[in-house]
Chain A
């Protein structure tokens, strides 16, 4: 029986004074690729920020059953790729520099690994224990297919390449859980498909548990193993097949996703 990587219990949080998530409860099991769907403003980002300790909330959140200081010690082992990373447009950092930012200091990594192994988790480290930092960066870039761009400045890359760089930066820390917040919004189909195959690869081969917010129901149906549906409240959390066979739920979220899609495209045009 796979263990719980994340437990969210009755979590409520506000964004700019308005209730953004209301008493949400769900668990994520080891090896899950959980797709979270919901319209814009549904509270997905607020939920992620609460999990990451960037947002005040009521309720309980546990990582591998840990709370408090142990939770804080495990937090650096969570990889996070936000919808958009805003950085100074001519920031003099190469792809190599940016990926390297994700590296954890040895002590932090050892403490995180000890906590995870201490609770009997089957998690495999992506990189060998004796891997040097430059090897880790190289391998993370290889996973996302960007090794040829390692010396290019991040600002010279396309949106899709930048997002893959941020994923590599999240991978280099050897995450046990990867949180992706609408990572391919505004990126063309080809890059999206490449991106999805990377997600599947790291989930299957590296056994990394992934939570992934998206408006793309087709991608969720193709790649996710579980689905959660939210719009301030959590409406559904369960197996993908169950979600896609529930016509009412599907209709509601297909419509909102379609509206989003049209909205994005009208902006692109």
Chain B
């Protein structure tokens, strides 16, 4: 059979891990895009790079150091941003460059790049082992459950922070929780597409879904479906075609975005024409 390779354990683990990361990225990504934090994922992943390098340097499991560094950096920058009123893009630039800078120093101190570090940069979903898969599933379930529980205040806070505050939504606490969830999502997605391509998974399925003119819930469900479809297809195609899964996933997402854009321009998603409306 052509799809015999799907019986391999590494392939199944890749598909499970990929799907879990894809769902988390699509969900958290919609809020990030709408809050104009599209590049926040990139900044967090570069912080995670610094964290990974720190893990290698200190000989600690790099996922833990990456999580600790990105979560604390994300919280720190949110606090600094609030007290100094620096703009969002400047905050992203600070995080991005400091994470990368720290990583480069630690990598050079540990005598150069290793294969493992390279796999964090571009993803290595096919190398995911059983314990990684299980922890990623557990973390993803935690992220998804938290996002489902807090969906109403999160939507309100994303749409209009001040109104949410008047309604008694604890905006500041929610912001910290959200940032922490975004940082953890980035960590579990690193394995799938690598540090350098994380933004694609956060942004592309969401801006594609947003073009379809639906409400919030449907847009999120469409985004999750697109993200899971692209991830599954990317992983499945990458094996027989001998391509990098991360690049394949991202290019499928790009194709979905461009395709939707073209279809939209042809007017397929528009509701009624003005003439119909008047009639």
Contacts and interface: CB of A to CB of B under 8 A. Distances in A.
B155 A101 contact: yes
B155 A54 contact: no
A96 B166 contact: no
B165 A80 contact: no
Contacts of A91: 34, 159
Interface residues of B, number: 25
Given A90-B210, A97-B216, A54 B159 contact: no
Contact of A93 (B152, B216, B271): B216
A100 B164 CA distance: 12
Given A53-B165, A102-B167, A104-B168, A92 B159 contact: no
B219 interface: yes
B215 to A, nearest CB: 4
A92 B215 contact: yes
A125 interface: no
Contact of B216 (A72, A80, A82, A94): A94
B166 A98 contact: no
B163 A101 contact: yes
B160 A52 contact: no
A105 B210 CA distance: 28
Contacts of B271: 156
Contacts of B166: 52-54, 75-76, 78, 80
Interface centre among A53, A75, A80, A97 (most CB of B within 10 A): A97
A151 interface: yes
A173 B216 contact: no
Given A93-B216, A97-B215, A87 B159 contact: yes
Contact of A92 (B156, B162, B164, B210): B210
A100 B209 CA distance: 21
Contacts of A268: none
A72 B169 CA distance: 11
Interface in A60-91: 72-73, 75-76, 78, 80, 82, 85-88, 90-91
A197 B215 CA distance: 29
Contacts of A97: 155, 215-217
B34 A85 contact: no
Interface string B3-38: 000000000000000000000000000100010100
Given A85-B160, A91-B34, A92-B210, A76 B167 contact: yes
A108 interface: yes
Contact of B159 (A101, A104, A151, A156): A101
Contacts of A82: 162-163
A110 to B, nearest CB: 13
Interface in B123-171: 152, 155-156, 159-160, 162-168
A260 B271 CA distance: 38
A261 interface: no
Given A88-B36, A91-B159, A101-B156, A153 B165 contact: no
B213 interface: yes
A96 B215 contact: yes
Given A92-B216, A93-B216, A97-B215, A104 B167 contact: yes
B79 interface: no
A76 B163 contact: no
Nearest to A76: B168
Contacts of B156: 101
Nearest to A150: B215
Contacts of B209: 92
Contacts of A101: 152, 155-156, 159-160, 163-164, 167
A88 B162 contact: no
A196 B134 CA distance: 59
Given A93-B155, A97-B155, A108-B168, A85 B215 contact: no
B214 interface: yes
A75 B165 CA distance: 10
A102 B160 CA distance: 11
27 contacts: A53-B166, A54-B162, A54-B165, A72-B168, A75-B168, A76-B166, A76-B168, A78-B166, A82-B162, A82-B163, A85-B163, A87-B160, A88-B34, A92-B34, A92-B213, A92-B216, A92-B219, A93-B215, A98-B159, A101-B163, A102-B163, A103-B152, A104-B168, A151-B215, A153-B213, A169-B163, A173-B167
Q: Which 4 A-B pairs have the closest CB atoms?
A: A92-B219, A94-B215, A76-B168, A101-B156
Given A94-B215, A102-B167, 9 more contacts: A53-B166, A54-B166, A76-B167, A76-B168, A80-B166, A85-B163, A91-B34, A92-B209, A153-B213
Interface of A: 52-54, 72-73, 75-76, 78, 80, 82, 85-88, 90-94, 96-98, 100-104, 108, 151, 153, 156, 169, 173
